[in-house]
Amino acid sequence: MEIAKFLEKQEINFKNIKFYITAFTHTSYVHESKIHGVESYERLEFLGDSILGHIISEYIYEEYPEFSQGSLTLLRSALVKKSALSKVGKELHLEKYINIGQGEDKSNLSPSVYEDVFESLTAAIYLDLGYKSARKFVYRIVLHNLEHIYIDDLKDFKTKLQELLQAESGKSAVYKTINQKRINNIMHFKVEVSFNGQVLGAGSGKSKKEAEQAAAHEVYTKMAGK
């Protein structure tokens, strides 16, 4: 079975294959199927959405202790948004394993299907193997790309802050690294952002660029009243 091969490739030592068959079953297939008891992934998707959000929230809360609630919320949103999960689903080539109706085209699935199936797969792992296994899967598949996704999502905040400041005086913000340290072989940076010689705020991250974006986000949020 192709799904079993996929799971083995992803280092998922499954016990009950039925959970995963359901996770890869589209509603269109259920409507056409003559097999009794066939269920689509919709209920698993509902559960997977909550599990995924919890896993990611737990991770970023522990890994980014200096982030404010606003920054944590922004980061979580970046990781669970449709485009991010769809991208992961496409990288995993989930379309190869989805059971869909004859009227559907596997080569042209909507991004939402990739997102739905990834959430359903997360739920299937949780139900079959438990929370720790689901967390391990999400960490390996989603969170390894954390900085890239984060920077893509926050890349406009330095620009937004600069536009806000220049509208008042025409001068530029200055970013300065005030601390950098290695924790568990991972670098952590803290950056201050100043304007007219006055420190407006600070941000932290695992690269200077990430820390600058976090600092810009903090200050922009305060100044713009977001």
Provide the annotated active-site residues: 49, 119
Do 52 and 138 form a contact (C-beta atoms < 8 A)? yes
Nearest CA to 126 among 47, 69, 62? 47
| CA distance linking residue 194 with residue 158, whole number of Å | 12
HSE at residue 146, side-chain half, CA atoms within 13 A, is 19
Do 171 and 181 form a contact (C-beta atoms < 8 A)? no
First and final CA of the chain: distance in angstroms? 51
